[in-house]
Amino acid sequence: MDVSTPTTPGAERRASELAATVRRVVGEQSVWDMHTHLYPPTFGTTLGGPKVKSDPNGLLLWGVDELLTYHYLVAEVFRVVPATELPYADFWKMGKQAQADHIWKHLFLDRSPISEACRGVLTTLKNLGLDPSDRDLKGYRNWFAEQDPSDHIDRVMETAGVSRITMTNAVFDDNERERWLADPKVGADPRFAGVLRFDPLLRDWAGAAKLLTEWGYDANADLDASSVESAQRFVRDWIDRVGAIYCAVSLPPEFRYGGADDNSTGSRVLREVVLPVLEERGLPFAMMIGSRMQVNPSLGDAGDMGGLSDVVSVVTLCREFPGNRFFCTMLARENQHELAVAARKFGNLMVFGCWWFLNNPSLVDEITRMRIELLGLSCIPQHSDARVLDQLIYKWDHSRELIATVLVDKYQDAEKTGWRVTDDEIRRDVKLLFEGNFASFLKG
Ligand code: RAT
Ligand code: ZN
């Protein structure tokens, strides 16, 4: 018998009720967003408000000009107005509004805004109550100019259904580091959680050692015993300063961890500095693997791309460090299946998110489906990676729709056997995906 389609009116009714319930529950479930590049207004904001002065180097980005100049859209505009017509340097010299005007004209008016990043701007405006059919960039600007940044955070979180925002606190970024040193309470906003991010420790130990030494943590390129101790002290001090709930790095496609005999400097930093401190503090380590930095440096943040990474290195880490917990996401589509299979082997590995170039509907659908088929409910399907506050709205709106579609199919498949899921069970499952798995993995 073909069990692929409901055969009776009763079964059809149940299938459509189930779909409606899943969509409603997914729409209502709040999210703890585990990876963003967002900050509270205490870190300064490029767009001030009636009560808040703007800070050109501020870290909180919000408003329509930041939405339009998102680096995903900068890359797209240089495809249609190439650097031979508008040299990179000239684009970067333009003010933020002029850049936004340029992107609006070429990606929204001269051709239709149907890429995922363009569509995201439209969803965001619409869900904030601004009408995309107006095509009124000036009107949108005026609306944002009237908002207070802190109140706007509340509005965006409410609209996006986000209960907590996880920051990325890049300790090697001077602008950010100095703000923490100047004001120990700078990160104290309860809407935000801190994450210590230290890519240079693993990507460029020699360079990191020089900086650590300047900052009072004597270290040398050879990573001798006293450098290990200094680097451990540095990581501990900054975990405390940031109140980190986990630590994180982005790693290149070439990242390899070859096991206990691998004495490359990066592997030693991982084995001797990072993992022991994280185990001692009971904090997970997030590895975002596959970013090939600055293949076109003229594009700035838009100049990075991705590449195929090595899942076996992650497997080796999970096996050799059972006392550590690892979050992992990879940038190449081709790595996703092997990574999900790896997570079946290790309870200390939590796969998360459809990262960066994978955060497109066709790929989110494919990856989420595959993960749920292999891992059931034991994964974290998405994070936003928002760099502009308002992006929380579209990133979660689009992801919720896709995750709900996958769940509807999977529950319907289960129900074709006669199994029934209750509304409470659906709520329980959806909470795990959007909040619970992250919270439990943090606790260990
Ligand atoms: O997605 C992005 O915006 C990237 O530029 C990176 O921020 C990436 O997500 C990262 O955290 O390194
Ligand atoms: Zn990111």
Residue 48 has pLDDT above 90, yes or no: no
- Please work out whether the CB of residue 352 comes within 6 Å of at least one atom of ligand 1: no
The verdict on the CB of residue 199 being under 6 Å from ligand 1 is no
**228 and 134 share a domain?**
no
Q: What pLDDT band is residue 7 in, cutting at 50, 70 and 90?
A: confident
Any idea what the CATH number is for the domain that residue 137 is in? Answer: 1.10.2020.10
Q: Are residues 59 and 203 in the same domain?
A: no
190 belongs to a structural domain: yes
Decide if 1 is inside a domain: no
- Ligand with the closest atom to the CA of 199: 1
pLDDT at 5: 57
What number of other Cβ atoms are within 10 A of residue 106's Cβ? 18
Residue-wise pLDDT for 109-132, tens only, equals 999 999 999 999 999 999 999 999
Atom of ligand 1 nearest to the CA of 301: 5
Q: What pLDDT is recorded for position 51?
A: 82
Q: Do 315 and 214 have their domain in common? A: yes
Asked, for residue 154, whether it belongs to a domain, the answer is: no
Beta carbons within 10 angstroms of residue 4's beta carbon? 8
23 shares a domain with 87: no
Which CATH number does the domain housing residue 407 bear?
3.20.20.140
Average pLDDT over every residue of 338-349: 99
Percent with pLDDT over 70 in the chain: 99
The pLDDT of 143-169, averaged and rounded, is 98
What radius of gyration do the chain's Cα atoms show? Answer: 23
Token reading at 152: 């706007």
Task: Evaluate if residue 357 carries a pLDDT over 60.
Answer: yes
Q: Residue 4: what pLDDT? A: 57
CA distances from 407 to 188, 329, 362, 370 (A): 36, 21, 16, 12
Per-residue pLDDT reduced to its tens digit, 19-28: 999 999 999 9
pLDDT over 60 at 78, yes or no: yes
Residue after which a domain boundary falls, among 81, 113, 146: 146
Are 81 and 112 found together in one domain? yes
Ligand 1 pocket check: which of 385, 388, 389, 394 to mutate, most ligand atoms within 8 Å of Cβ? 385
Domain coverage including residue 404: 9-42+160-443
Average pLDDT, the chain: 97
117 and 142 both lie in a single domain: yes
Given this model, what pLDDT does residue 2 score?
53
| Ligand 1 proximity of 387 Cβ (cutoff 6 Å) | yes
pLDDT of residue 435: 98
Say if residue 38 is in the same domain as residue 58.
Answer: no
Residues 312 and 364 in one domain: yes
pLDDT for the residue 72: 98
In a domain, 60, yes or no: yes
Lowest model confidence (mean pLDDT) among 45-49, 66-70, 118-122, 199-203: 45-49
| Residues near ion ligand 2 (Cβ under 5 Å) | 385
Query: Binning pLDDT at 50, 70 and 90, where does residue 3 land?
Result: low
Does the beta carbon of 140 sit less than 6 angstroms from any atom of ligand 1?
no
Domain boundary residue, one of 95, 121, 146 = 146
DSSP single-letter state for residue 296: S
Same domain, 27 and 134: no
Shared domain for 95 and 178, answered yes or no, is no
Domain count, the chain: 2
pLDDT at site 152:
98
Instruction: Name the band, by pLDDT with cuts 50, 70 and 90, for residue 50.
Output: confident
Q: By alpha-carbon position, which residue is closest to atom 10 of ligand 1?
A: 250
Last residue of a domain, one of 111, 146, 181: 146
Global pTM reads 0.97
- The ligand that comes nearest to the alpha carbon of residue 291 is 1
Residue 2 falls within a domain, yes or no? Answer: no
Same domain assignment for residues 387 and 284: yes
Give tens-digit pLDDT for 427-443. Answer: 999 999 999 999 999 99
Residue 152 lies in a domain: no
Residues 405/366, Cβ–Cβ less than 8 Å: no
Cα 376 to its chain centre, rounded Å, is 22
Cβ–ligand 1 contact at 250 (below 6 Å): yes
Question: Tens digit of pLDDT for each residue in 359-368?
Answer: 999 999 999 9
**Which residue, chain included where needed, has tokens 């509005």?**
155
Instruction: Give, using CA atoms, the residue closest to atom 12 of ligand 1.
Output: 250
Same domain, 81 and 176: no
Instruction: Read off the pLDDT of each residue in 193-220 and give the average, rounded to a whole number.
Output: 98
Looking from the CA of 275 toward its CB, the CA atoms found within 13 Å total: 19
Whose CA is closest to 309, among 285, 323, 327, 291?
291
pLDDT over threshold 90, residue 261 = yes
What per-residue confidence (pLDDT) applies to 100?
98
